Amino acid sequence: MKNLRRITLLSVVLVGALNVRLANAEKMNAGTQDLVIQKMERVLSAIGKEDPSWVPTQQRLADLLAERARDRFMLEVEANCDGCKGSKADRQKAIGIYEDLLRQVSLNEHGPILFQLAHLYEMAGQNDNAIRLFEQIIKEAKAKKINPAIVSRSHASLGDLLFQKNKFRDARYHYVIALKDDKLENRALVTYNMAWCDFNEDKLSSAITILETLLKNKHLITRDTEEGSKYDPVFHADIMRDLATFYSRKNINDREIAQFETLAPAQNRKELLFHFAGEADRLGQKQAAHKILNRYLEQPDLTKSERLSAFVRMAQVNYDRGQTTQSTQDFAKAAAAFKNTDCDDESKCEELQKTMKRYVTELHRLKKLNPDQDLLNAYVIYNKTFPTDIEMANRGSQIAMDMKKYPLAIQIYRSISESRKFSAKEREEALNNEVSAAEKSQDLNLRREAYLHYLKYSDNDAKSFEVRYQLAYLSYQQKQLKEAAVAFNDLTEDKKGSADLRKKAADLSLDSAAQLKNEETLQKWAWDYAKIFPAHRAEFEALARKSLMNEVASVANNPKSSSSDMKKALKKVMSTDVATAKPTEKVLFYTNASVLAQKTGEDSIYVQSVLALIAMNEVSDLKKDELREQLAAHYEKHLDFKNAYRMASQVRSSKVSEKDREFRLGTLADLAEMNPERHYKAALKAGLKGERSLIMRSRLVLLSSNPVKELKAQAPELKQKPDLLNETALLVYARTMDKSGLKSVFEMKELRRKSAAQFFQKQDFYNKVAIFHPKIASHQLNGKNDRTVQKSIQERMSLTAKADGLLKESLALKDITAQLITLNIVASENERLVKDLASLPMPKGLSPAEQRQYVDLLKGRSKPYLLKARTAKQKMDELWAQSPALGQLASEYKNARPEIQKLLLREMQILEDLPGRGRMKTAVSDALGSSSFSSRDLVSARKSVSENPSNVRDLENLKYLETKMGHPLMPSYLEARLNQIQRGKSL
């Protein structure tokens, strides 16, 4: 749409000229104008409305105010301010006077007032009031005999107002009427506005025809002034530009290009042709623009700058036509021509540079959303032509960046950073941009070159630190981990860098070391970083510990790890500070420590580690039970039954039944010399059956404060295993010697053929023999007289007969000791009887023959006794030589526990005191004389097993000693341990 402000300004000027002529007055200067207005205001204040001069004076004052308002308005336009010169106040005063005159005075010819008032409304922005007044003038023109010139101008002005309201058809109607007035002033402007009405009504051909007609009548292109009508070259150029716009709305042909060139005034032809080309280009008529530019280049008086501008525009048009290669080539030629052209005028050189820059920037603007290679080439060409234009260099490099042409962007940036023509700040910025471009390229080699280039040319220590970091990170990305690790570590100690970046460098150095599996370096650096970065001490210490844990796990799980390797790892673990460790770290720490300690035999460390885990809230109850079980097994393995019991008693795992748990606790308590009775009873109450229940019952008997009573209570169950009942009964008897209390137990049918009952029975026999033996051994034959001799012989024979009876009784007992002691009595006493008979004095008064007869009689009577003695002696010798019963007895005594040995000692002592020789006699003597073990021996054996829990030899030795003098349960417990070792299992 046309420039409405121009129409407004023209209206102001034209109305002012009309007002001057209508008022028939000469143009006043501002000072005279102000003086006249002041005088008239004073005159009006002194006269009344009834005065005949009041009306014309009021009208004259309004005319002067309107004129001054227009003058001031023009000054405001020049000053580019709104109301700063007072135009609005004058305008409002004039409007008030005119409106008052129209209300109070009846005028036959008030057209000039209406016209002035309408234009004042228009200038005040009260367009609707202006339209109303113009319509009133037109309507009352004939009736009020209004001047035709005013009526024509009213049509024209009304057309302008309607035009502003986009009522183009109505506006054209009034323009046509106004143009019918041959004396209409400024016809060219009305015609021009009418063309725009057609253009806006899409009547393009009519609009073009109107402008062409107007332009062919140059004498019409004038404006009215106080000096009269004058040619308006500016208006002429405006019409040409609008014609270019109208032409460009249709397909431009050669006729129109020629017509435009012909109609254009010579003094503006170059500029107007260039504008025409631009309009055609703007509206997409690239072919026409190309032709117009060719006509432009044919103009004879083009300057270098104008030709360069045209050439640049031509390059742009060619580009838009799709001839991108030609466009770029054209621009390159222009650039080359510029460099080869001597510029005597520096300002012209600058202008030429601006022109080329304008081409590139305009091309950039057009291609801003979709930059392409041609745009980039244009920047490259420009940069080579004007290498000191850093703004364009940066723009070009940015285009290269946007197009991901990173090497080219780096090339441009590097040309800045390596040139001393630029400031240090600019060079530093270029170096930064080069680094950024290389990083965005994701080309690792390009990045490395950029980083090294930066470090070579930059003086910025802080930024250099960042680049060194990125260079190290690049090595990290390229898996050059050894180099990266060292570089990152170096950065951590450089205080020129930011704390944050140094921290990141520390993190990545550790990560690199981790990937290299260099746990030793990782740990060393992590501990160093804990000191370098106090705020992150806990974090780095955690990493050091984690690395150590990884190393420990590797050593512990490696079958090739030696004991020395594991001990070394354990030493590192135990020297590690866990004060800042998180609970989860501590769990791992103590777990690994316990594993290593267990494998290296560091029992105290193992126990401490497991106890530490048990004490941690973060360890689940289930896991704690597992740990307690493990620790209990450890204690048990080392014969520390008291602590094993303590650990096992804290286990609450539901995996173990109540009866099994109580049985185990009872066993451990028993072995620990603690009172196990409540556990044994609880196990039995929980339903424990089988052999284990019988063993517990036996232990309850032996541990009882009243074992006899307890044995009687448990006997009904113990009889299920007669051997166990037999052994228990013997032990109770050995402890209590309560023969009468145990009689009912020994008489149980399950024990009738067992050693306990036999032992019980033969004790009476031994007592009987012990009473009898002194009696017979002390008997003497009385040789005082025959009567006493006969009586004492009878007594002795009676005693020997009793000895024979005891021998028979011993055979019935089937007890080797009873047989030997009775055989000894029989042999010795029968032999003594024979000797005593032989030593009796001869009766008095016998003749020699009677004496011989008496001797023969004694010999005859002694012979059976002598034979009996010899037979008994022979039997004893046989038994001493090879009796299996004697060998078994000697062995049983030798291996028996002390309480059993106590029972057997009487029997063994009896055998030892009997006369005789032989292998079995020696066996008995050896058994009695075998060295006894002290409690010190037992303690030493237990210590050996505690220190070497899996040593079979030590276990067997301890088992032997325990059997001899230790805890009753230990032999069977140690036997189970040995069986487990043989099966390849551990406790």
Domain boundaries, the chain: 1-217, 754-928, 935-982
Instruction: Please tell me the predicted confidence (pLDDT) of residue 337.
Output: 67
Q: For residue 229, give the H/E element and its range.
A: strand 228-231
573, 552 Cβ separation under 8 angstroms: yes
Q: How far is CA 113 from CA 38, 71, 118, in A?
A: 21, 19, 8
Residue type at position 630: Q
Identify the CA nearest to 722 among candidates 692, 758, 756.
756
Instruction: Please tell me the predicted confidence (pLDDT) of residue 342.
Output: 65
984: left (phi over 0), alpha (psi -120 to 50) or beta: left
**212-245 tens-digit pLDDT:** 998 998 888 887 666 677 888 888 989 999 998 9
Instruction: Please tell me the predicted confidence (pLDDT) of residue 945.
Output: 79
Q: How far is CA 623 from CA 617, 620, 652, 653, 899, in A?
A: 11, 5, 11, 10, 45
> Which residues have CB under 8 Å from 35's CB, separation 6+?
none
Long-range CB contacts for residues 899-906, cutoff 8 Å, separation at least 24: 899/731, 899/734, 899/735, 900/730, 900/731, 900/734, 902/734, 903/730, 903/733, 903/734, 903/759, 906/766
CATH topology of domain 1-217: 1.25.40
* d(C-alpha 924, C-alpha 509), whole Å: 82
What angle separates helix 87-104 from helix 111-123, to the nearest 10 degrees? 150
224 phi and psi angles, rounded to 5 deg: -85, 135
130, 161 Cβ separation under 8 angstroms: yes
Distance of CA 728 to the CA centre of its chain: 67
Instruction: Please tell me the predicted confidence (pLDDT) of residue 758.
Output: 72
Identify the CA nearest to 284 among candidates 330, 233, 250.
250
How crowded is the C-beta side of 378, counted as CA atoms within 13 Å? 29
239, 264 Cβ separation under 8 angstroms: no
Identify the CA nearest to 865 among candidates 837, 903, 898.
837
Q: Angle at the Cα of 33 (from 29 to 35), degrees rounded to 5?
A: 125
Long-range CB contacts for residues 627-634, cutoff 8 Å, separation at least 24: 629/653, 631/607, 632/668, 633/987, 634/598, 634/603, 634/606, 634/607, 634/610
Q: For residue 224, give the H/E element and its range.
A: strand 222-225
Identify the CA nearest to 211 among candidates 179, 234, 244, 257.
244
- The list of the chain residues with pLDDT below 50 reads 1, 3-25, 107-108, 987
Long-range CB contacts for residues 781-785, cutoff 8 Å, separation at least 24: 781/836, 781/837, 781/840, 783/840, 783/841
